[in-house]
Structure 1
Amino acid sequence: MLKIRKIAAIDIGSNAVRLLISTITEPKDKPVTFKKTSLVRVPIRLGQDVFTTGEISNYNQKRMLKTMKAFKFLMECHEIEDYRACATSAMRDASNRNELVETIKQQTNISIEIIDGEDEASIIAATDLHALIEEDKNYLYVDVGGGSTEFTLYIQGKTKASKSFKIGTVRLLNNGVSDELWQEAEQWVKYNTKGISRLQMIGSGGNINNIFKSSGKKPGKTLSYFYLSSYYQLLKSLTYEERISQLNLNQDRADVIIPAAEIYLSAMNWSRARAVHVPKIGLSDGIIKSIYNKIKD
């Protein structure tokens, strides 16, 4: 008997808010398949408020409420079985987060979980990342968001260390990252990767996905340090308007992609990785898997 489920993930990030709806097919005596049915992305950029003023502005509170109402209707139209809404760095740091979460709950009945960096890393680890990680190899997984970056070290197929740093693209654009924090991240990566030869890096996040797409490489191939460095120099040589017109970047991508490239290149330098895998997975995918595992349990 074939069983089909529809579940949804809401990812409330520092740069954008996303709704991912997935169709899960459970054929008898065959592996379960996950298919992305719909993905909606709204560039609210909560971090622009929070990392400069400490709270979410009235303007963006209204945009958030409108977005959640739209997500509620979309989930109803898709007849989803279950959902999970997770908020990350910007909402964690917002002084008025509780009031906004309560307003959204009252007006949309959507419950928002504010998760910490370690939760974020563990949710992402529940994705199909294991299909990429080979048990006889070592990897540094780097997930770059608008408000934070999560590092996870996999040794021989197992998690050895994980750490979240408040180093994100929107924070960097607003000069919200101190030299001391950069040094702390550098020391953590160097200490935990010391003595590991042939370490490979895995990158996730909208910016590295965009860079990979621009490379024209086929899925499964890696980006070299040379390519990433060259593309970073190209980005810096163009104005914001030129990055939109010549590289066909979205308005909310054309500025954050530069600090994102800086973070990935720094991580490669610190860990001595020469290439990065880009499997195109993220928090939304992990949320979907976490919901499905909960349903099955």
Structure 2
Amino acid sequence: MGCLLVTPHQVGSFCYNGFGGMEVNAPHRMAVVDCGTNTFTLHVAEFDSKRWKSVFRQLRFVRLGHDSFRTGRLSPDRMRRGLDVLASFRETAINFGVTHIRAIGCSAFRDASNGLEFVERAREIGWSIEVIDGQKEAHWIQEGVAATVPSEILGGQTALTLDIGGGSVEAVLWDHETVHGRFSLDLGVARLTDWIKPSDPLKNKDLDSLARIADHAMVPLLGRTKHYAPQLIVGTSGAFNTLANLESAEANWQPRHVADVLPYATLRSRCQALMATSKADLASIPNLHPDRIPYMSMACALIEHILGRLPSVGMVLRSRHTVAEGLLTETAAGWKGLEPKVGWEMLTDL
């Protein structure tokens, strides 16, 4: 996944409001664009006194990494789609009055042989993308997720954050005092789909292939859990959001800054059912977005496999904070007005 961080433009005590006028003493605004392997997300937030508040959020399905983990290249049509969405998000950012940008590219950019070609083409329309490694990605994800877990739920437990993306899975083992390990695993659902080329619905041979790949990738993580066994999993990103929506139609209306509970037994039963369901039957399930269908069975199979490898886990939460919100949280903590920051560039209306 990847991100674009945007800060407000101010002149003295005035700031542009994005509609040709100016506001006096308006709050600072930032806009984050998370350029993931599967989806791009725009998140505009107001920022003031080391805090941020969500203003606007939009998700667009791009599938930038579709087939890239098999071919080793981003396809021309997916690149065009990604650039079109970035252009659209750019206009929205300008309308919200943001004028500085920071773009971050993650798994799909790291792995594709022509990832830098996308970076160069994005530069032509005003985006400067920094490709980061999995450790930095996991760090920012954890910054966002940790802020959503109530202390009364976490208590003295060890937690495992799981961000299941298209290209990679970021896993962070932590408790209320420290982080015990950050891991970037080559287990994203687009990657697994490209590698396994599964049947529809998944067959036992597909699940066996997933188990072999996952067990190999998880060796460092499982080794660490022998010393810090997690009792709690905090899941984030598309698959966990979809599972929350299937659990309750009101899930999208819950406060975004507080993680909510996914009943453990129900979650496992639902994953076991969905991983055995064909795409045609998935399409008939209420509250399951059509663009989630291509990877949903694989995501559920992966979640079920991970839970099966972690018998110490007895509770699962869903957080709607991820790498974008982690960037906002970290930036808010160190905010010193309009002091220039490394990696930020002026957003101009080209």
On whether the aligned pair clears a TM of 0.5, the verdict is yes
Q: 1:68 to 1:248 in 2, by over 3 A?
A: same
Q: Contact conserved, 2:51 with 2:329, CA < 8 A, in 1?
A: no
- Structure 1: which 5+ residue stretches go unaligned? 27-31
Q: 1:112 maps to what in 2?
A: 129
User: By how many angstroms is 1:33 displaced?
Assistant: 4.1
> How far 1:282 sits from its partner (Å)?
1.0
**Contact 1:55/1:96, CA 8 A, preserved across alignment:** yes
- Alignment partner of 1:57 is 2:71: no
1:135 deviates by: 5.8
CA distance in 2, matches of 1:94, 1:186: 22
Q: Distance in 1 between matches of 2:119 and 2:227?
A: 45
2:322 pairs with 1:282: yes
1:190 aligns with 2:208: no
Map Cα deviations across residues 192-249 of structure 1 (whole Å, 9 max, x no partner): 1125566211111121012112212776542233211211233245431332232332
Alignment of 1:209-288 (within 5 A): 209-216=241-248, 220-272=259-311, 273-288=313-328
Q: How many residues align?
A: 291
- Normalized per residue, the structure richer in helix is 1
For residues 227 and 237 of structure 2, the distance between their equivalents in structure 1, rounded to whole angstroms, comes to: 28
Distance, in Å, in 1 between the alignment partners of 2:144 and 2:260 is 19
Where do 4+ consecutive residues of structure 1 move more than 3 Å?
Answer: 176-181, 195-198, 217-221, 290-295
Q: Secondary structure at the match of 1:246?
A: coil
Of 136, 141, 147 in structure 2, the residue corresponding to residue 124 of structure 1 is 141
Letter in 2 for 1:113: E
Tell me the amino acid that sits aligned with residue 13 of structure 1. G
The structure number with the bigger radius of gyration is 2
Q: TM-score, normalised by structure 2?
A: 0.75
**Structure 2: 5+ residue runs without aligned partners?**
1-12, 14-24, 197-208, 340-350
2:180 corresponds in structure 1 to 160
Tell me, in whole angstroms, the C-alpha distance in 1 between the residues paired with 2:145 and 2:171. 17
Map of 1:29 onto structure 2: none
Distance 1:83 1:184, change over 3 A: same
Change in 2 beyond 3 A, CA 1:156/1:39: closer
Q: Paired residue for 1:89, among 97, 101, 107? A: 107
Instruction: Using the TM superposition, give the Cα deviation of residue 188 of structure 1 relative to its aligned residue in structure 2, in angstroms.
Output: 2.7
Q: Percent identity?
A: 24
Which 10-residue stretch deviates more, 118-127 or 58-67? Answer: 58-67
TM-score, normalised relative to structure 1: 0.87
Letter of the 1:118 counterpart: Q
Whether the 8 Å CA contact 2:274–2:300 is kept in 1: the answer is: no
Q: 1:221 to 1:19 in 2, by over 3 A?
A: closer
> Does 71-80 or 133-142 show the bigger shift?
133-142
* 1:251 maps to amino acid: P
